Amino acid sequence: MAERDFTKTGIKGLDAILGGGIPRGNLTLVEGAVGTGKSTLGAEFVFRGATEFHEPGLIVLFEVSPDKFIRDVARFGWDLPELERQGRLKMVFTTRSVFQQELQQADSLLLDEAGKIGARRIFIDSFGQLALGNDGSRDPRDDFHILAEGLHRENLTAMLVLEVVAQDGVRLAAPAPEEFIADTVMRLRLEPLERAVQRSIEIVKSRGHEYQMGRHSFRIVDGQGLEVYRRVQAPRDTTRELAASFDPTTRISSGIPGLDEMLSGGYFVGSTTLVVGISGVGKSVMSLHYAAEGARLGERGLMLTLDEPPAQVLRNAASIGIDLQAAIDRGTVQLYYDPPQEMEIDRHFHRIEQIVREFKPTRAVIDSLSTYGSSLGPAGRTFRDFFHALVALMKEHQVTAIYNHENPEMFGMSSMMGDYGVSSLVDNIILLNWVELGDVSRLAVTVTKMRGGPISRVTRECEVVDGVGMRVLARTISPNVQPTPFAGYHGLLARSPERRPSGT
Amino acid sequence: MRNSTDIKHLLDQAKSRLGQPCDLDLLRFFRRHPRALLTSEQLAAFVAYDVQQVGRSLDTLIGAGLLTQSQNPKSGARMYVLTSGGPLADWLNSLLEVAATPAGRRALLQALARRPWPGGAPEAGRKRRDSRTGRSGRASEEDAYG
Query: What pLDDT score was predicted for residue A97?
Result: 87
Query: With contacts defined as CB-CB under 8 Å, which chain B residues touch A98?
Result: 37-39, 42, 75, 77
Q: Do B72 and A105 touch (CB under 8 A)?
A: yes
For A375, residues 6+ apart whose C-beta sits below 8 A from its C-beta are: A306, A340, A341, A343, A345
pLDDT value of position A418: 64
Q: What's residue A412's pLDDT? A: 63
Asked if the structure places residue B80 within a domain, the reply is yes
Is position B99 within any domain? yes
Mutate to test the interface with B, among A72, A91, A94, A97 (most CBs of B within 10 A): A94
Chain B hits for A108, CB-CB cut-off 8 Å, are 72, 75
Q: Which residues of A touch B74 (CB under 8 A)?
A: 105, 107
Query: Model's pTM, two decimal places?
Result: 0.80
Round to whole Å and give the CA distance between B9 and A503: 113
> How many CB pairs below 8 Å do chains A and B form together?
62
Q: What is the pLDDT, as a whole number, of residue B15?
A: 56
To the nearest whole Å, the CA of B101 is away from the closest chain A CA by 15
Residue B45 lies in a domain: yes
Cβ pair A95:B42 closer than 8 A: yes
Task: List, in sequence order, every residue forming a beta bridge with B55; answer none if it has no partner.
Answer: none
* SS3 (DSSP) at A462: strand
Contact of A58 with chain B, judged by CB distance below 8 Å, is answered with no
Residues B140 and B47: beta-carbon distance below 8 Å: no
Q: Which of A443, A475, A441 is nearest to A458 (CA)?
A: A475
Of A65, A105, A109, the CB nearest to B33: A65
Residue B131 is assigned to a structural domain of this protein: no
Contacts of B79 in chain A (CB under 8 A): 92, 109-110, 113
Q: Is A72 on the interface with B (CB under 8 A)?
A: no
CA dihedral B55, B60, B64, B66 (to 10 degrees): -40
Predicted local confidence at residue B146, as pLDDT: 29
Q: What single-letter amino acid sits at A135?
A: D
Query: The CATH number of the domain where B98 resides is what?
Result: 1.10.10.10
Query: Mutating which of B35, B68, B71 best tests the A interface, going by the most A Cβ atoms within 10 A?
Result: B35
CA distance A262 to A404: 18
Length in residues, chain A: 504
pLDDT of residue B122: 45
8 Å CB contact between B136 and B128: yes
Q: With an 8 Å Cβ cutoff, is A230 touching chain B?
A: no
CA–CA gap between residue B54 and residue B42 (Å, rounded): 11
Which positions in chain A touch B46 (Cβ < 8 Å)? none
A109–B75 C-beta distance less than 8 A: yes
CA distances from A261 to A55, A119, A344, B99 (A): 63, 68, 40, 83
Segment B129-146 mean pLDDT: 36
The CATH number corresponding to A6-229 among 3.65.10.10, 3.30.70.20, 1.10.240.10, 3.40.50.300 equals 3.40.50.300
The reply to whether B50 falls in a domain is yes
Residue B53 lies in a domain: yes
**How many angstroms away from the CA of A53 is the closest CA of chain B?**
24
The pLDDT confidence band at residue B136, using thresholds 50, 70 and 90, is very low
- List, in sequence order, every residue forming a beta bridge with A429; answer none if it has no partner: A274, A449
- Determine contact: A385 vs chain B, CB below 8 A: no
Mind giving me the DSSP string for A347-406?
HHHHHHHHHHHHH--SEEEEE-HHHHHHHH-SSSHHHHHHHHHHHHHHHHTT-EEEEEEE
Q: Residue B86 domain-assigned?
A: yes
The closest CB to that of B32, out of A65, A92, A110, belongs to: A65
Q: How many Cβ atoms are within 10 Å of A293's Cβ, its own excluded? A: 20
pLDDT of residue B11 exceeding 60, the answer is: yes
Start and end residues for every CATH 3.40.50.300 domain found in chain A = 6-229, 238-499
Using DSSP bridges, classify how beta strands B67-71 and B78-82 pair: parallel, antiparallel or unpaired: antiparallel
Q: How far is B119 from chain A (nearest CA, A)?
A: 30
What is the model's pLDDT at position A462?
Answer: 92
Residue A478 burial (10 A CB sphere; 0-12, 13-18, 19+) = exposed
CA distance B62 to B83: 9
Listed in sequence order, the residues at least 6 apart from A219 whose beta carbon sits closer than 8 Å to its beta carbon are A199, A226, A227, A229, A344, A347
Q: Which residues of A touch B35 (CB under 8 A)?
A: 66, 90-93, 113
Q: Hey, are the CB atoms on A107 and B37 less than 8 Å from each other?
A: no
Which pLDDT score is estimated for A174?
A: 55
Per-residue pLDDT tens over the stretch B49-83: 999 999 999 999 999 899 999 987 777 899 999 99
Measuring CA to CA, how many Å separate A95 from each of A120, B76, B140? 22, 12, 21
CB pair distance less than 8 Å for A101 and B31 = no
The gap between the terminal CA atoms of chain A, to the nearest Å, is 81
Name the class of domain A238-499: alpha beta
Please report whether residue B81 resides in a domain.
yes
Measured distance CA(B15)–CA(A140) in Å, rounded: 50
Query: Which residues of chain B does A95 touch, with a Cβ-Cβ cutoff of 8 Å?
Result: 38, 42
The number of distinct structural domains making up chain B is 1
Is B36–A92 a contact, with Cβ atoms under 8 angstroms apart? yes
Residues of B in contact with A92 (CB under 8 A): 35-37, 79
Assess contact for A486 and A435: CB atoms under 8 A.
yes
SS3 of chain B: the string is CCCHHHHHHHHHHHCCCCCCHHHHHHHHHHHHCCEEEECHHHHHHHHCECHHHHHHHHHHHHHCCCEEEEECCCCCCEEEEECCCCCCHHHHHHHHHHHCCHHHHHHHHHHHHHCCCCCCCCCCCECCECCCCCCECCCCHHHCCC
Domain that includes residue B73, residue range:
4-114
Q: Are A274 and A425 in contact (CB under 8 A)?
A: no
Cβ contact B3:B88 at 8 Å: no
A109 and B71: CB-CB below 8 Å? yes
Which among A66, A94, A108 has CB closest to B38? Answer: A94
What CA–CA distance (Å, rounded) separates B61 from A336?
A: 61
Query: What is the pLDDT at residue A244?
Result: 65
**Per-residue pLDDT tens over the stretch A50-70:** 999 999 999 999 989 999 999
* A92 interface with B at CB cutoff 8 Å: yes
What long-range pairs does B38-44 form, CB within 8 A, spacing at least 24?
Answer: B38/A93, B38/A94, B38/A95, B38/A98, B38/B77, B38/B78, B38/B80, B39/A98, B39/B76, B39/B77, B39/B78, B40/B76, B40/B78, B40/B144, B40/B145, B40/B146, B41/B139, B41/B144, B42/A95, B42/A98, B42/B77, B43/B80, B44/B139, B44/B145
CB-based contact B113:B22 (threshold 8 Å): no
Long-range contacts at B6-11 (CB < 8 A, ≥ 24 apart): B6/B98, B7/B98, B7/B104, B7/B107, B7/B108, B7/B111, B8/B111, B10/B91, B10/B94, B10/B95, B10/B98, B10/B108, B11/B108, B11/B111, B11/B112, B11/B115
Q: Which of the residues in chain A have pLDDT under 70?
A: 1-4, 129-138, 140, 166-175, 235-244, 378-380, 410-421, 476-482, 495, 502-504
